[in-house]
Amino acid sequence: MKKLIILLLLNTGIVLTIHAQSWASGDNVVKIKTSAICKMCKERIERDLSLTKGVEQADLNLKDKVVSVKYNPQKTNSDQIKLAISKIGYDADELIADAKAHDRLPECCQKHVGEHGD
């Protein structure tokens, strides 16, 4: 009986270790192209995404305008994250920014005519 309990505990430990390694390796990270322009955009997107259900971490690279989002797949998914970015006022891959949210952004953060397919 003791051997069975020890074997079960070892097995459980292995499964938990594999799960933790999977999480740490970034299996639940999505990269989304945005229409962000400046440091204020970066701060806004990262802050607002951090308040989004299931989002663990967001980091926007302003050079390529791509936000990397680490998330809990049991609470959200990439489509919901894109929708959240759109509702903040920015494009998210193929999803165009919500017009009202975009218009509330500071002037320097708004897309100019001719940018991003306008």
Hey, where are the domains in the chain? 28-109
pLDDT, tens digit (0-9, with 9 covering 90-100), for 60-99: 999 999 999 999 999 999 999 999 999 999 999 999 999 9
pTM equals 0.74
Long-range contacts, stretch 23-30, CB < 8 angstroms, 24+ apart: 26/70, 28/56, 28/70, 28/71, 28/72, 28/73, 29/68, 29/69, 29/70, 29/71, 30/68, 30/69, 30/71, 30/78, 30/81
CATH class, domain 28-109, is: alpha beta
pLDDT, tens digit (0-9, with 9 covering 90-100), for 39-50: 999 999 999 999
